[in-house]
């Protein structure tokens, strides 16, 4: 199915940036097939239906995938192999934001934000190798920049929250390790900060605060991911890129 299309997998596509990215990619080209994956089937299937109702040019399907579960990763990888035989783009987007540095919070955060993307990528590596132009986008955060954390002048200098900041710094290291490891078979890898945008990441109740603080729409994050997939950031492979053609320091 859809063998002539670019096959794109997005994790955490039931909400926020993953949802908007699914729509933006499908709307952008009839040559894209977007696999919207989500851990909760009812949410993922509802999101798929909503997007299909907007009649995008590209096609979409739903896949159950909990990135914190090895079993779910293995099942999802098998299904992608059976249905498509390869993968062209992996968007490691699913993420959580926990504040207090308890052992449970640290474990959950690293499971979802770091171990999940790494183990999922490994499970899909053989399918990415079959692509003519494999791309991996690791959705990070400016809060993961160690350089910014150590800069008293930076706007993120004061932001606390060990679990999230540590997890995104680790994801950045993962990203640059992948860029090195996968270079020989042609994979292009980026860490991407989607910007401070209005989603449920810090709870539905925080949406109004985000708007008040000037957060933009998560459609701007989706646009940034589309630009990477379209090749507009190919000169910045293995960089920590942001929206609007900008970069962060690692
Ligand atoms: N929003 C921002 O300002 C901002 C800024 C910088 C970086 N980011 C990053 O952007 C990414 C997307 O976040 P968002 O803002 O769109 O937040 P969101 O609205 O909370 O969406 C997060 C998505 O991840 C999914 N998810 C969570 N745990 C998962 C798991 N174990 N397996 C699979 N899916 C899982 C959620 O699924 P459920 O619906 O089932 O919970 C949801 O679909 C995250 O990596 C986040 O760190 C966001």
Task: Decide yes or no: CATH 3.90.1170.50 for domain 6-241.
Answer: no
User: What's the per-residue H, E or C state across the chain?
Assistant: CCCCCEEEEECCCCCHHHHHHHHHHHHHCCCEEEEEEECCHHHHHHHHHHHHCCCCCCEEEEEECCCCCHHHHHHHHHHHHHHHCCCCEEEECCCCCCCCCCHHHHHHHHHHHHHHHHHHHHHHHHHHCCCCCCEEEEECCHHHCHHHHCCCCCCCCCCCCHHHHHHHHHHHHHHHHHHHHHHHHCCEEEEECCCCEECCCCCHHHHHHHHHCCCEEHHHHHHHHHHHHCCCCHHHCCCEECCCCCECCC
Beta bridge partners of 18: none
- Ligand 1: centre distance to CA 93 (Å): 6
Given the residues 23, 164, 168, 248, the one annotated as active site: 168
User: What is the predicted pLDDT for the residue at 1?
Assistant: 58
Per-residue pLDDT of the chain (250 residues; tens, 9 = 90+): 547 999 999 999 999 999 999 999 999 999 999 999 999 999 999 999 999 999 999 999 999 999 999 999 999 999 999 999 999 999 999 999 999 999 999 999 999 999 999 999 999 999 999 999 999 999 999 999 999 999 999 988 888 889 999 999 999 999 999 999 999 999 999 999 999 999 999 999 999 999 999 999 999 999 999 999 999 999 999 999 999 999 999 9
Alpha carbon 32 to its chain centroid, in Å, reads 17
Ligand 1 near 95 CB (within 6 A): yes
Domain boundaries, the chain: 6-241
Ligand 1 near 90 CB (within 6 A): no
- Closest atom of ligand 1 to 40 CA is 40
Contact 67/94 with Cβ under 8 angstroms?
Answer: yes
Ligand 1 near 93 CB (within 6 A): yes
């Amino acid at each position: 199915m859809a063998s002539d299309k670019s096959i794109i997998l997005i994790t955490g596509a039931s909400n926020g940036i993953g949802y908007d990215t699914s729509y933006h990619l499908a709307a952008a080209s009839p040559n894209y097939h977007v696999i919207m994956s989500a851990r909760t089937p009812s949410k993922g299937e509802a999101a798929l239906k909503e997007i299909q109702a907007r009649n995008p040019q590209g096609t979409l399907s739903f896949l159950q995938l909990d990135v914190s579960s090895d079993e779910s990763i293995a099942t999802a990888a098998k299904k992608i192999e059976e249905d498509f035989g390869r993968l062209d783009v992996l968007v490691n987007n699913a993420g959580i934001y926990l504040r207090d540095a308890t052992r449970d919070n640290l474990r959950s955060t690293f499971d979802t934000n770091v171990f999940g993307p790494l183990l999922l990528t490994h499970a899909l590596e053989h399918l990415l190798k079959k692509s003519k132009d494999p791309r991996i986008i690791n959705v990070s955060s400016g809060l993961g920049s160690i350089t910014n954390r150590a800069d008293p002048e930076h706007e993120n200098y004061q932001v606390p929250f060990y679990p999230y900041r540590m997890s995104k710094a680790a994801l950045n290291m993962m990203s640059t390790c992948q860029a090195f490891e996968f270079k020989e078979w042609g994979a292009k890898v980026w860490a991407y900060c989607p910007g401070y945008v209005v989603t449920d990441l810090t709870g539905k109740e925080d949406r109004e605060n985000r708007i008040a603080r000037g957060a933009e729409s998560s459609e701007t994050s989706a646009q940034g991911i589309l630009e990477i997939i379209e090749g507009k950031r190919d000169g910045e492979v293995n960089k920590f890129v942001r929206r609007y053609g900008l970069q962060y320091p690692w």
